[in-house]
Amino acid sequence: MSWKESLSTDVTSVDRQHQDLIAAAQDFFARIHAGLSRGETVVALDGLIALVSEHFDHEERVMRNIALPSLATHAHLHRALLEEIQEFREETALGTNERSPADIEHFLNLWLYRHIVEEDLKIFHHLNRY
């Protein structure tokens, strides 16, 4: 996935964080495809989880500040993704992960793209409704 202007929410801080998340995810995918050890993968996942969590907190503050009607649903989707990534991290740490790097890449890319297009762009539409 790569950043396109059509993904803009019209909130500079959110857009910048989306760009940073896309870059961090691409870096993570490149590193796991290059063959990180289990421990290195866990450390990389911890960094990605922290970045995603910080972004979600910021995005939800923005949504609260603009009184976005779908905030509760949006926050629920955020928590569900964090739980999924955390589960993957735990499976990786325990050595029980059966998902391939390609599986997790596909899941995260699809989720990130769909989430921005279907959910985060509601910020843009809400801000530009008049």
pLDDT digits (tens, 9 = 90+) for 6-59: 999 999 999 999 999 999 999 988 988 888 888 898 899 899 999 999 999 999
9 burial (CB, 10 Å; 0-12 / 13-18 / 19+) is buried
Q: Which residues contact 55 (CB under 8 A, 6 or more apart)?
A: 17, 18, 20, 21
pLDDT digits (tens, 9 = 90+) for 78-110: 999 899 889 888 988 898 988 777 888 888 888
Q: What is the CATH number of domain 5-127?
A: 1.20.120.50
Domain boundaries, the chain: 5-127
pTM score, whole prediction: 0.88
